[in-house]
Amino acid sequence: MVRSSGTKRAILDAALELAATRGITGTTMDDVAERAGVAKGSLYYNFSSKDQLFEALLEEGVGSLADALREARGELVGWAAIEALVAALLDRIAANAALAKLMASEIFRTDRAWQKTLFALRHEALTVFAEAIEQADAAAAASAGTAAPGAGASTIMASSVFGAVLMSGLEWLVFEPERSRDEVAAAILASLSGALAPRPS
């Protein structure tokens, strides 16, 4: 049995590990209690239901991802910010592949109790990408003497970039783990450079 001070952490870690391999639907509270090494009473003391448990898990994971992206961007603007964000997201995927798998499977589900929470947190993460894309587009438009795309376009592009990095990161870990993060980031950025603002020479 784990010490009480680490009970909640053990439960969250066990739930993530199980859901990454079995899916949330295939994971029961009994499974989580057994994997975490806690009594069922302790599990339900910390999380009154399976929905509450996985909402807390996703809130913690996606929330920390949004924080990491904001930190990676810092004061960077334009293409430099996009490069930093792609690298940071790949680093997070490599550090927590189980969470990345769970996000990929849950991000478009609309029948979950935690949909609103996940949507809000996803929006936070995408906003960081969207702001960097808007800046890159504005700089490119100013240089070319043309009008920059509207905010709606950057939001859709941010979603595309986030999804591309998430899925490419999982492909990397599962099928090409011998590649370095820098190689993967360079390939992703090369594919994006024609769709986003022109890459600096």
pLDDT digits (tens, 9 = 90+) for 25-38: 899 999 999 999 99
Percent of the chain with pLDDT over 70: 87
Query: What is residue 153's predicted lDDT score, i.e. its pLDDT?
Result: 74
Q: Return the beta strands (E) in the chain as ranges.
A: none
Q: Of the given ranges (37-41, 54-58, 106-110, 178-182), which has the lowest mean pLDDT? A: 106-110
User: What mean pLDDT comes out for the span 83-109?
Assistant: 89
CATH number at 21 reads 1.10.10.60
Query: What is residue 70's predicted lDDT score, i.e. its pLDDT?
Result: 93
Residues 22 and 94 in one domain: no
Query: What is residue 156's predicted lDDT score, i.e. its pLDDT?
Result: 86
User: What mean pLDDT comes out for the span 105-113?
Assistant: 78
Residue 198 lies in a domain: no
Q: What is the 3-state secondary structure (H, E, C) of 77-134?
A: CHHHHHHHHHHHHHHHHHHCHHHHHHHHHHCCCCCCCCHHHHHHHHHHHHHHHHHHHH
Residue 119 lies in a domain: yes
Residue 177 lies in a domain: yes
User: What mean pLDDT comes out for the span 119-128?
Assistant: 85
Q: Does the structure show a pLDDT above 80 at 47?
A: yes
193 vs 197: CA distance, rounded Å: 7
Task: Give the pLDDT band (50/70/90) at residue 141.
Answer: low
Query: What is residue 48's predicted lDDT score, i.e. its pLDDT?
Result: 94
Residue 201 lies in a domain: no
The radius of gyration of the chain from alpha carbons, rounded to an integer in Å, stands at 19
Domain count for the chain, please give it: 2
Residue 200 lies in a domain: no
Residues 30 and 76 in one domain: no
Query: What is residue 150's predicted lDDT score, i.e. its pLDDT?
Result: 60
Does residue 159 contact residue 122 with C-beta atoms inside 8 Å? Answer: no
Q: For residue 31, what are the contacts with CB-CB under 8 A and spacing of at least 6?
A: 18, 22
Residue 86 lies in a domain: yes
Query: What is residue 73's predicted lDDT score, i.e. its pLDDT?
Result: 93
Query: What is residue 148's predicted lDDT score, i.e. its pLDDT?
Result: 58
47 vs 53: CA distance, rounded Å: 5
Does residue 26 contact residue 102 with C-beta atoms inside 8 Å? Answer: no
pTM of the predicted protein model: 0.81
Range of the domain at 187: 59-192
Residues 64 and 95 in one domain: yes
Does residue 172 contact residue 78 with C-beta atoms inside 8 Å? Answer: no
Residues 66 and 98 in one domain: yes
Closest CA to 89 of 170, 193, 1, 148: 170
